[in-house]
Amino acid sequence: MLDRQILEKIKAIVGDDNVATSTQDLICYGYDATQMEFLPDAVVHPGCSDEVASLVKLANQEGFPVFPRGAGSGFTGGALPKGGGIVLVTTRMNKVVRIDTDNLIAEVEPGVVTETFQIEVEKLGLFYPPDPASLKFSTLGGNVAECAGGPRAVKYGVTKDFVMGLEVVLPTGEIIRTGGETVKGVVGYDLTKLMCGSEGTLGIITSIILRLLPYPDAKKTMLAVFDSIDGAARAVSTIIKGKIIPTTLEFLDHATLVCVERRFKLGLPEEGRAVLLIEVDGDRDLIEKQAGQIRELIEPLGVVQFRVAQTAAESDELWRVRRLVSPSLRDVNPDKFNEDIVVPRSKVPDVIRKIEAIQNRYDIPIVNFGHAGDGNIHVNIMVDRSKEGQEEKAHLAIKEVFQAALDLGGTMSGEHGVGLSKQPFLPLELNTAQIAAMRAIKRALDPKNIMNPGKMLPLE
């Protein structure tokens, strides 16, 4: 618990209006998209990096934890104040500071909502490709801290590939800048990359310099229905071997198709066992040509239907299949555990088969879809929490799913991070030496362990 005196000091830094302590406020900053809940002692809304620095210094002096938070849309509990302390919310720091059209970079505050930023740059004919499905509400600070990715990652990469420099308030309260505004730069350790994906455990990001691209001329969306998951997976490697890198290669497995079809009756062919949603972008003539090539390349792999959108509206219609996945899952079971493993592209059918075996062994439905282009699969373990034993079963199944991914040379998270929910499984993927190296970094930067404590690294 924070005593009165400390609260007064916090108020002196950010102003009375920007500190909340009523139970109602604490409740509203105690959840995220994991459905876990921990109440903080206070919620603080700083307005600039200096205020953030003062708060962190105070936290060091008084020994209370600080939990950075953007929109609270995280899937692993990264922003949850487990153990109490202050939740430090970035919503007031939400300015797009500048967009530099000469150097194709932009400087933003961490609380800017991703889509808001995209719209701003697109007005200038520019492009910020990272597109997590949460882009309409998640913040750029949260995206950097989780190194968020999306369907366009196949071609463009993820958030860290666009972060050139950062301003960070370190866990001791110093403000540093990492990286910069130049494409090249090799002086010292790459602290920018270290901060990307650090889940708020190594400091608070207070300013971000992002790289931009010219907005692509045009895009073309295609939908291919396959008679087997193997066909769909082979299509992915065939397209890439054919020297075409699509912007997007999303896949839906059979279980997913059944869900979507049952609820929304899209009229997909009955013999369909997997769907690939393919998008290419770039020069208008080039993408026409590529669409033709893609069709030729994959047709022999068991394609039972191939559709190409001619207009933006048709493209939207094709994307609908993908968008309807989430809303239709609840028909299977009311609660879901959403994991996001990654395997090498070519191993997608193998891992799906392993997951099918796990589903049968535990007798709980598992639905898979995701980013086939980079082997990132959203594994949805569907349960009914109100039924006894289901949650425990799900946890056992999740562990086996992780192990299956690791056995195939993959990883247990491509997008959502570790946070609280994957923390117990970390030793499956990282060995003692790796964990020790990470702990050494954490200890060096955060000697008092006040910055998002208890997250990511297993407890000692």
Ligand X SMILES: Cc1cc2nc3c(=O)[nH]c(=O)nc-3n(C[C@H](O)[C@H](O)[C@H](O)COP(=O)(O)OP(=O)(O)OC[C@H]3O[C@@H](n4cnc5c(N)ncnc54)[C@H](O)[C@@H]3O)c2cc1C
Residues that bind other proteins (CB under 8 A): 20, 22-25, 27-29, 31-35, 45, 71-73, 91-92, 113, 115, 134, 136-138, 326-327, 330, 334
Task: Choose the stretch contacting ligand X; rule: CB under 6 A; options: 40-48, 53-61, 143-151, 438-446.
Answer: 143-151
Q: Is the Cβ of residue 339 or residue 415 nearer to ligand X in the bound state?
A: 415
Residue 79 in the binding site for ligand X (CB under 6 A)? yes
The partner in contact with residue 146, picked from ligand X, other proteins, none with C-beta cut-offs of 5 to 8 angstroms by kind, is ligand X
Q: Kindly give the pairing relationship between strand 218-226 and strand 274-282.
A: antiparallel
Query: Which of other proteins, ligand X, none interacts with 142 (beta carbon under 5 to 8 A by kind)?
Result: ligand X
Q: Which does 115 bind (CB under 5 to 8 A by kind): ligand X, other proteins, none?
A: other proteins
Please say whether the beta carbons of 239 and 291 come within 8 A.
Answer: no
Q: Give me the DSSP letters along 160-229.
A: GGGEEEEEEE-TTS-EEEEE-SSS---SS--HHHHHTT-TTSS-EEEEEEEE-EEPPSEEEEEEEEESSH
Instruction: Say if residues 290 and 242 touch (Cβ distance below 8 Å).
Output: no
Closest CA to 73 of 19, 140, 127, 168: 140
DSSP 408: T
- The dihedral sign for the CA sequence 138, 142, 143, 148: negative
Q: Minimal distance in Å, beta carbon 301 to ligand X?
A: 27
Amino acid at 81: P
Residue 7 sits in the site that holds ligand X (CB under 6 A): no
Tokens of 154: 């196949």
Residue 415 is a binding residue for ligand X (CB under 6 A): yes
When binding is defined by CB under 6 A, the residue of 139, 192, 315, 390 that contacts ligand X is 139
In the complex with ligand X, which residue's Cβ is closer, 19 or 451?
A: 451
Between 34 and 201, CB nearer to other proteins: 34
327 binds, among other proteins, ligand X, none (CB under 5 to 8 A by kind): other proteins
Does residue 200 belong to the site contacting ligand X (CB under 6 A)?
Answer: yes
Strand bridging mode 376-383 / 335-342:
antiparallel
Chain contacts with ligand X (rule: CB under 6 A): 32-33, 67-75, 78-79, 90, 110, 132-134, 138-139, 141-143, 145-146, 148-150, 199-200, 204-205, 415-416, 452
